[in-house]
Structure 1
């Protein structure tokens, strides 16, 4: 018997990504040309998107998916450990995927998980609400962890790239995506950032910078609220996700604003970049610049000096997210906000 055509087969035949096929077949947005190619390829291959059809729930084979931006990131490793521990106790298999912080790659993985009839999905999202529409329409149970889908571009500076491209083409802007009604397990970013900024202010720091990356728009907003008006936007800098980009952002910040005296790094990759950039530029921590890092990871205490951190419970976050996604069939899951803690070490000192 011939092998049944898959969503990947349709994508290859149409010359588009799996994400585009998923959007077209689930009624999402796509250009007229892409839609025509996808539908023609699906007809030619006799593709039957049963995983997206009305009988989806009857075909579910169980299993849990977990999507994180970077498996080498210590915090996401801790989160994954929590998910796996809970899933193991429930006898639930887990399909693990790394999105690289790329919304297109994330959309491809979502399409593949739908094709594989995965029941439940826990994700640290990199894309926006539209990226997650196919999963919602497919009836998949989704729980977000650590953050919600972005409402801004990957660099945290404004609307999505799709809107920018439409504007360049002279088309009217697309209406903003409606926030998804999806439960999440997150840390109390606002309280954590506020506590860190107050601590630095207590040491006499006035020119405090924020170094962020993809998914950190909420932390940046918390930082703006904590420092108060007027906000110096030049002191809020974003990298694009890679370690090289984080280093470039940190180095550029230090060189463009030699007047700053403290930095809050929005994640451990950014904190590492700030330490390396400061060392390369002969900036002494904390004598020349004080540093607070979001995430408490093992190497933070081994730095010289040890880093002051905003600790969030990564393993507990993963475990709670897995509990929510496993219980979702019996009752409506409610979002969970976990506390953060400022752990003071040696990387902050009085303003020079």
Structure 2
């Protein structure tokens, strides 16, 4: 059962403590703060009767922070609520139970800021154009690379609205194209920092990993636990699209077709360094470049059979070829992904140059 301090006392029906179980008292304290602010401004206007312009500008701020602490101590005397306090709990069974007395602390924070704008233009709903730009800042990067500039643009031509277009079978035809760049800041663990690890007789099971014994006296020491990559920057994804939309049979049958080419520059990975460099954990780095080419097709049918009965269905087809252009394997091992099966952790995927990202890695059998 649990009380105000999360007191746990595992007992049998006859009142005796269950073998292998220990009563305990614990306390947790958590503080969390989340703040999001977004603002937008729109202004739409016309120039004459044919030119339509829509504008949007805005910005956003995001902040999240928190910290917490926890403590647990086992061996409450006499299995009694009267002694369910940290002062009374002895934790004397630490020789057989490493959780007899422990605690922990955590802290986190995240901050992002953005400004953006977009302009849409059309002439008689026939010639279409759109331009957008944004500047994003992320807390996970260093001072020199904290902000990134990203953009997108598109053009469209509604051919079916031209005077020369007089097809009786095609109800709508539009040709379009676009190009844009976006940024990714998905860094596992948040901002990077150097970590110093200290060892010695009073520092737990791995106490003697950092230090040296001189004569009969052990001198605790420290070692670098992690590195910082000050050159870390935004992962950039650039995509080019060209396609068309067509509708026939009184707009009941539509086809949307796209060809796309997408490149990713500076994918964020934590490389695995060769063992000759030691056991220190490598920092996250921009080590991957990929390319993807493909086609998207969507065929849809929508029709009103009667006033109260409508039918609609669609089929989507996509094919793409994905290739790793670079994985920085010249200075680090090939990034590989793992999985847990057959009772053990095994390497099952790899990120290798001139192959598909994350292809299955293993022996080939008949």
TM-score, structure 2 normalization = 0.20
The structure whose RCO (Cα within 8 Å, separation 6+) is larger is 1
The TM-score with structure 1 as length reference comes to 0.21
Higher strand share: 2
Instruction: Flag the structure with higher helix content.
Output: 1
User: Which has the greater radius of gyration?
Assistant: 2
